[in-house]
Structure 1
Amino acid sequence: MKRRTFLKVTVFAAVGALAAPYVHAQSKKFAGITLRVNGSGGVYDDVLRKRVAAPLEEKYGLKIQYNAEATSSALVKLLASRDNPPYDLFTADSPQMIELLKAGVVEEIRASEVPNIKRVLPGFREFGEYGVPFSVPSIIPVYNSNYIKQPLTSYSDIARPDLVAHVVVPAPTFDSTGLYLLGLAEENGGSVSNMEPAYKVLADAKPNIVAIAQATVAQLQMFQNEEAYAGFFWDGRAYELRTKGVPIVSVIPPKGIYSVTSYINIVKGMKYPEAAYAYADQLLSDEGILGLPEALRYGATTDVAIPAEISQDLLFNSPERSALKKKVDWERWTADRSARIERVNKILRS
C-alpha cells in the first residue's frame, strides 16, 4: 500500500473511532435533558431511580433528579414559583391533586401521549385527564403482636381500654394520613359531611394515645423502638417494619380501607413535555410499576401480573379486598382540613 493511501485509511479509522461515541450519544433522544421531580427519600426514591430513571437514561440519555422533601413543602414551593417552577414533574397524592388543579399548575396527560395509560385499571384516574396514577398507599390500623394479644380488627378498636398509653396516631395536619378519621367516622355512622362520630371515638381513645406523630419517619421510629404498640400507619411502612423484624400486623377493617392514589404530573410550562411523557410511560411499564409493590408492598394501578410472593403481602390482592377500598370525596375532605385540625387538637391537646 502506498504511504499516502495508508495515511488516509489511518486517519479515517481514527476519525470513525472518535466519532462513534459521539454519534451514539446523539442518537439518544433526550441526551442532555434533566427532569426535576419532588421525591420522598429513602427506599421510595431508590426504587424509582432503579426502575424508572436508570432505564430512561440507558435508553434515551434522559436524567432524572429527585429532590426529597415533604409533599406539602414541595407544593408550597411550586405554587409560590409558577413563573419559574422548581420541578418539571410533580408527585402528588389524591388530596394534593385538588390543590394542583385549583391552582392550574399541571397539564393534562392523554393516552395518546403516554400509551401505558391504557393499562390503568378502572377507578384510578380520579381527576379525568390530569395525573398519571402509579401507586396506592393505604392508612390502616396496625399493632405489635408481641404486646397486643387481642388482634385489632377496625379503626375504632383504637379506643379499646387495653391500649392505654400504647397508641401513636399521625397528626391531623395532612389530608392523607388523616384519613383514619374518616375511617372512624364511617365505621360509626358518620361521613365526610358528619365527622362527629370520629371525634367521639378519638375522645374515648385519648388515654391510649401516647404521641401524635408529625412525620411518617417519627412514627416508624416509635414502632421500631417499641415506644408504641398500636396506631394508624401506611401499609407499606408496616411491611417495612416487618422486614426489619418488628412484628407489626396490618389490619384489614371489614367496613372499608382508606387509601390515596399517588400521581405523577407534568408541571405547566416545563420545557420538555416529550421527555415527561417518556417518564410517565416508563413509570407505568411492568418494570416501573412493580418497583414499589416489590419494595414496599404498595398497591399497583395497572393490569400488571404481580408475582404471588408479592401479592400475598398486598392489601388489594383479590376482588374482595379491592371492593373494600373506599371512595373519598377529596374536594370536601380537603375543604374541611382546618376544621379537622382544630377539632383534633382540641381533643388531644386539651
Structure 2
Amino acid sequence: MTTPLPTQPTLSPPSSSSFPSSRPVVLITGGHSGIGLYASTHLALRGFYVLIASRSAQKVNEAIEGIEQDHPELKGKGVLKHVQLDLTDLKSVRGCVAEVEGGVGRLDVLINNACLHGGGTPYLILPNGIEQMVCTNFVGPALLTSLFLPLLSKTTAEMGGDVRILNVTSDQHTAAPKNIHFTSLEDFNRPYSKNPSGMAGCRVRYGTTKLLLNFLTTHLTSSLLPALPPSSSSQPKPILALSLDPGWTLTPSSLATVPSFLSPVLKLFLSPLEKGGEVLVWGATSDAVRSKALGGKMIGREGKVLKETGTGGIGEGERERAREVWRSLEEGVWEGR
C-alpha cells in the first residue's frame, strides 16, 4: 500500500560507555518548543534517550543547547538528538522511521505532539494533495505511527520495554461536526466553511484533526495493537495507546488562536506551560497508565479520565468510524504519496 522506506543517514546512538543499551528511547514530534520542549527536557532528566523530530535541525539544536545550559548534568551526554521529520511530506515521514530503525533500533515511547493550531492557519492544499493542517496534525502522525509499529513491537517483545503511543489531543475535538465520516481524500480536505482560514473555520478544522487523532487511539487499541505478533518476553507488557489533553497552556500557539487584541485577556485563563508539559511526561512514565488500565482513553491533567467523546471505549459505532478512517488512509490517502 505505502511505498518502500528510502535509505537515510542513520543516527548515532548514545555512547555505550555512558548509558546501557536498555536506556528507553522516546521520539517526540515538535519537541523543541512549547509543551514539547518541557517534555523533552524532563524525559531526558528521567533517563530517556530523547529523539526530537522536526524539520528544523537549527531550532532543535538551539533547544538542546538551551536544555543543557539549564541542566548541566545533561551536557555532553548525547541523550537529546534531532531526527529529520516534516509531517507535511510523507516521504520525510518514511525517512524518519528508516533513520530511527537503522540508527537506534528501539522505540519505547512515541509522542505525536506537533501540530498546526487553529489560530489563523491558512487553508492550503499541499503539493501532495492533502490540506496542510490535516496532514500535519493527523495524516502524517498516523503514517508515522503505522510505520513505527514493527519497531515498537520489537521493543516490547525482545527488550521488555514499557511501550506507549501518546497522541496529544484537545477538548477542541468537540468543535468537529457531529457524525462526520471520512471515506475519501476529499472528506479529509473539507474546508467546513466559506472562510476556512478565518478564526471560526480554523477552529472547526483544528478540532476535526483532534477528533481524528482520537480515532487513531481508538483504532490502535481495538484493532492494530491486538493484531501484533505475541511477545516472546516472559513478562510482556502490551503496547498502550492514549490520547492526552494538556489543557489550555500559555504558549505562542495558544495565543495565536485569538485576535491579538484579545491576547491579554486570554492570558488570564491560560495555565503555565509546565502544567501542559507535565501531562506528556506523566503519560510516558506513570505506572498508573497500566495499573488503572487507561489504554485507549483520553486523559487530562493529573491522570484524570476525560469525557470519552471521540476516543476509545464507547462502543462498536465508535470503533467502526475509526476503522473507516484507517481504511481511507490505507486505500487512498497514503497511496503513492
TM-score (norm 1): 0.36
**Comparing both structures, which one devotes a greater share of its residues to strand?**
1
- Select the structure with the greater relative contact order (CA < 8 A; seq sep ≥ 6): 1
Rg comparison, structure with higher value: 1
